[in-house]
């Protein structure tokens, strides 16, 4: 069986602070978060596509809109859980899976970078 993994990259800007963190990250600060979305499929449509990149871009942009240029601590679910890179990746994975998983396509992983040297990857 063939498998294809497609990916797109984007970014968003948001502030956050880590509650109860014993260091600088307990203070409000911002990042230009870099996001990489990976989806996989095993079948292609009649055009030879697993999923249109345009669909991926539009859905990821819509999913990030509630976070872009906000303090993540003020936005659900981060108003109750710490907006760590790990939690941001997990929540984005869940949202993108809800938007894209359809039996033919499934989100395989999400990468989130707070900086150019600090990254987390989430996959189930």
To the nearest 10 degrees (0 to 180), the angle between helices 53-64 and 85-100 is 130
The whole-number pLDDT of residue 100 equals: 98
| Reported pTM | 0.96
Please give the CATH superfamily to which domain 4-122 belongs.
Answer: 6-pyruvoyl tetrahydropterin synthase/QueD (3.30.479.10)
The whole-number pLDDT of residue 1 equals: 77
pLDDT mean for each 10 residues of the chain (124 residues): 94 98 97 98 95 98 98 98 98 98 97 96 96
**β-pair partners for 16:** 29
The whole-number pLDDT of residue 30 equals: 97
What is the CA 90 to chain-centroid distance, rounded?
8
The whole-number pLDDT of residue 73 equals: 98
List the chain domain ranges. 4-122
Lay out the sheet containing 118-122: strands in order across.
Answer: 70-71, 4-16, 29-41, 105-115, 118-122
Structural contact between residues 5 and 39, judged by C-beta atoms closer than 8 angstroms: yes
């Amino acid at each position: 069986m063939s498998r294809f993994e497609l990916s797109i990259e984007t970014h968003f800007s948001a502030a956050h602070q880590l509650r109860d963190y014993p260091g600088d990250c307990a203070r409000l600060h911002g990042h230009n978060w870099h996001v990489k979305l990976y989806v996989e499929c095993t079948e292609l449509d009649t055009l030879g596509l697993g999923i249109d990149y345009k669909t991926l871009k539009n859905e990821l942009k819509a999913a990030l809109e509630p976070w872009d240029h906000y303090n993540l601590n003020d936005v659900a679910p981060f108003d109750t859980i710490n907006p760590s890179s790990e939690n941001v990746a997990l929540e984005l994975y869940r949202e993108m899976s809800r938007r894209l998983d359809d039996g033919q396509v499934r989100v395989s992983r999400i990468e989130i970078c707070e900086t150019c040297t600090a990254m987390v990857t989430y996959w189930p």
